[in-house]
């Protein structure tokens, strides 16, 4: 897809196909939404949660950003897009699950590993991926032979930890109303790794 016309032709195919087949569902969704899952995923064009989980419209409340990061709770009056979406999902939509999903070859993770002295990272990306600093330091100190992969997983752990810094998330989890999950998607192989909540290990989901 290279041109606007190709993009619009995609819409026309959607109207003739998917929308036509699910028109009743879309009419119902026009009245409101009640997803059970919130997905916090990377903005990367190759890792779309709706595709990966074969989800129908209305099933996933999705927030995407560089490197699928969740900042810590910071009620400072600033503009916090991820925090606002999280608050809405947990307090208004009453989602039952929040999934942080990373993926292979993440550019945001690569930017973090490159370090802040690299000029091409950018004035907005640099402070954003600084959220990975502690995780990056742990990976570097560990001497991992594959720091990119290690930080992709460690970043998910950091985001789950940051989720628990939000009082309304912590309250919902402790009340048994909300579960937090981690996932990692191998783009090349189409393979999903799911975080085992008991062991903290990422295990391959068999197709």
What tokens does 161 get? 């930890």
Q: How far apart are CA 112 and CA 114, in angstroms?
A: 5
DSSP-assigned letter for residue 15: I
**What contacts 81, CB < 8 A, 6 or more positions away?**
63, 65
Please state the residue numbers annotated as binding site for Zn(2+). Answer: 42, 44, 103, 106
Which runs of consecutive H residues, i.e. helices, occur in 43-106?
A: 49-52, 81-87
Give the H or E element holding residue 111: helix 107-114
Q: How far apart are CA 87 and CA 166, in angstroms?
A: 9
Please state the residue numbers annotated as binding site. Answer: 42, 44, 103, 106
């Amino acid at each position: 897809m290279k041109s606007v016309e190709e993009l619009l032709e995609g819409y026309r195919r959607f109207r003739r196909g998917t929308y036509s087949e699910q028109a009743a569902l879309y009419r119902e969704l026009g009245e409101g939404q009640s997803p059970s899952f919130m997905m916090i995923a990377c903005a990367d064009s190759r890792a779309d949660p709706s595709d990966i989980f074969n989800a129908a419209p209305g099933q996933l409340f999705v927030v995407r950003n560089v490197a699928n990061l969740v900042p810590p709770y910071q009620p400072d009056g600033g503009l916090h897009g991820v925090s606002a979406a999280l608050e809405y999902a947990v307090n208004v939509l009453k989602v039952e699950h929040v999934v942080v999903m990373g993926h292979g070859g993440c550019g945001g993770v690569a930017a973090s590993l490159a370090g802040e002295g690299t000029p091409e990272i950018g004035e907005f990306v640099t402070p954003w991926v600084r959220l990975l600093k502690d995780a990056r330091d742990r990976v570097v100190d560990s001497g991992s032979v594959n720091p990119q992969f290690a930080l992709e997983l460690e970043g998910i752990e950091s985001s789950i930890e940051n989720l628990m810094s939000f009082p309304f998330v912590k309250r919902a989890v402790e009340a048994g109303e909300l579960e937090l999950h981690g996932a990692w998607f191998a783009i090349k192989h189409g393979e999903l790794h799911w975080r085992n909540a008991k062991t903290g290990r990422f295990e391959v989901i068999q197709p």
